[in-house]
Amino acid sequence: MLKHLLVPGLAAALGISAPVLAQSVDGDAFAEALTTLNGDWSGTLEYRDYRSNERVFLPHARTVSTGPAGEYILTENAFTDPGYTVHAAELTSWDGERMRSVYSRGGSFEVSESQLVKFEQTENGWRAELRSHGSDNGQPAEIRYLWSLNGDSLRAERQARTDTREDFVFRNRIEVERQARGE
């Protein structure tokens, strides 16, 4: 869950809530870090099945294009659900304070807004944590996104916490490796 900036005010018009946490984080460094995601990636999509509560692993490929200053990301995704391939796209903008995303799959779309709450450079990449309000299995929830880039390995995990849970629980994760163009 991308190639152009969202129209200003779109988030408000679509009813996206204000950022979850307001704290000082280096948004410029995060924007620069986002540009390191350009390229083709392949690996695994893992998710928790709501019905069985079991984890499912699927082959996953994505292509990421970012704006020159990290102000937007276009991600095209493909993964094989049993019996068919799912194609999806996500357009995300970064305005220095908030990340706004539109995710489209199968003719429908979801809109979300996140606040960057932690960001750090590492020896071989970076780590970030973003928070938002959304839903988890039909219930209002606080969502936590944990992203890390370590060399050519990207991991992005989504966790959720509803009013009925004290802790965040795993919902989905991608673990992908950067591919040379044309692989």
Read off the tokens for 21.
């946490």
Q: pLDDT value at position 18?
A: 38
**What mean pLDDT is predicted for residues 121-140?**
94
Least confident window among 8-12, 56-60, 107-111, 112-116: 8-12
What is this structure's pTM? Answer: 0.82
**What mean pLDDT is predicted for residues 153-175?**
94
Which residue type occupies 143? I
Q: pLDDT value at position 1?
A: 30
Q: Give percent of the chain above pLDDT 70.
A: 86
Q: Dihedrals φ, ψ of 168, to 5°?
A: -75, 145
With a cut of 90, say whether residue 166 has pLDDT above it: no
User: Model confidence at 115, in pLDDT bands (50, 70, 90)?
Assistant: very high
With a cut of 60, say whether residue 121 has pLDDT above it: yes
Q: Residues 66-102, buried b or exposed e (16+ Cβ, 10 A)?
A: bbeebbbbbbbbebeeeeeeeebbbbbbbeeebbbbb
How far is the C-alpha of 26 from the C-alpha of 130, rounded, in Å?
A: 13
Collapsing DSSP states into helix, strand and coil, what is residue 27? helix
CATH fold of 10-179, please? Lipocalin (2.40.128)
Nearest to 27 by CA among 118, 127, 113: 118
Q: pLDDT value at position 39?
A: 96
Measured between its terminal Cα atoms, the distance across the chain in Å is: 23
Residues 6+ apart with CB under 8 A from 7: none
